[in-house]
Structure 1
Amino acid sequence: MSDSRTERPTRYAFTSRLLHWTMAILVIAQLFLGVAMVASLDAYHLLRTVHQPLGFAILVLAVVRIGNRILHRPPPSAGMRPAERMVATGSEYVLYGLLVLQPVTGWAMLSAGGFPIALTAQLSLPAIAPRDPDLYAVLRQSHTVLGYLLFAAFTAHLCAVLFHTFVLRDRILGRMTMGRRARPTQPPQRQDQEFRVS
Structure 2
Amino acid sequence: MSAEHRHFSPAARFFHWLMAPLVIAMLFIGVGMVATLSSWHQTLIAIHKPLGIAILVLVSMRFIVRLTHRTPPLPDDMPRWQQHIAHLSHWVFYALLFAMPLVGWSMLSAGGFPVHLFGSVYLPPIAPQDVRLYAFLRSAHTTLGLLLFATFLAHLGAAMFHGLIKRDGVFSSMARGRARGHE
What's the TM-score bracket when you normalise by the shorter of the two chains? over 0.9
C-alpha contact (below 8 Å) 1:172/1:185 kept by paired residues: no
Contact 2:59 2:98 in 1 (8 A): yes
Letter in 2 for 1:114: G
**How far apart, CA to CA, are the structure 1 residues paired with 2:92 and 2:81?**
17
Kept after mapping to 2: 8 A contact 1:164/1:170: yes
1:61 matched to 2:58? The reply is: yes
Number of the residue aligned with 1:196: none
Q: Assess, with a 3 A threshold, how the Cα gap between structure 1 residues 40 and 183 changes in structure 2: closer, same or farther.
A: same
Which of 9, 15, 22 in structure 2 is aligned with 1:26? 22
Distance 1:72 1:104, change over 3 A: same
Aligned position for 1:95: 93
Match of 1:76 among 69, 73, 80: 73
**Matches of 1:127 and 1:75 in 2, distance apart?**
40
Cα deviation for residue 77 of structure 1 reads 2.8
What TM-score do the two structures reach when normalised by structure 2? 0.92
Task: Write the distance in 1 (CA, Å) between the matches of 2:156 and 2:56.
Answer: 21
Distance 2:181 2:79 in 1: 12
Return the letter of the residue paired with 1:20: H
Q: Secondary structure at the match of 2:5?
A: coil
- Residue number in structure 1 paired with 2:132: 134
Contact 1:78 1:185 in 2 (8 A): no
Counterpart among 164, 167, 170 of residue 169 in structure 1 = 167
Residue from 98, 117, 124 that aligns with 2:122: 124
State the distance in 1 between where 2:157 and 2:114 align: 38
CA contact (8 A) 1:78 1:186 kept: no
* Bigger mean CA offset, 96-105 vs 68-77: 68-77
Q: Which string of whole-angstrom CA distances, capped at 9 and with x for unpartnered residues, describes residues 97-132 of structure 1?
A: 000001100000000000010001210000000000
Superposed CA deviations along residues 162-192 of structure 1, whole A, max 9, x for unmatched, are: 1112222212111011x4x5132499xxxxx
Q: Post-superposition shift, 1:137? A: 0.4
The letter of the residue matching 1:70 is: L
CA distance in 1, matches of 2:123, 2:92: 26
Instruction: Give the CA deviation at 1:45.
Output: 1.1
Is contact 1:113-1:131 (8 Å) kept? yes
SS at 1:74's partner residue? coil
TM-score for the superposition, normalised by structure 1: 0.86
Q: How far 1:87 moved relative to its partner?
A: 1.4
- Show CA shifts across 1:31-59 (max 9, x none): 11011111221211111111000000001
Q: 1:12 aligns with which of 5, 8, 17?
A: 8
In structure 1, give the amino acid aligned to 2:60.
Answer: V
Q: Aligned pairs, how many?
A: 181
Q: Give the partner amino acid of 2:101.
A: P
- The whole-number CA distance in structure 2 between the counterparts of 1:158 and 1:108 is 29
Equivalent of residue 184 in structure 1, options 165, 180, 183: 180
SS in 2 for 1:118: strand
User: Any unmatched runs of 5+ in structure 2?
Assistant: none
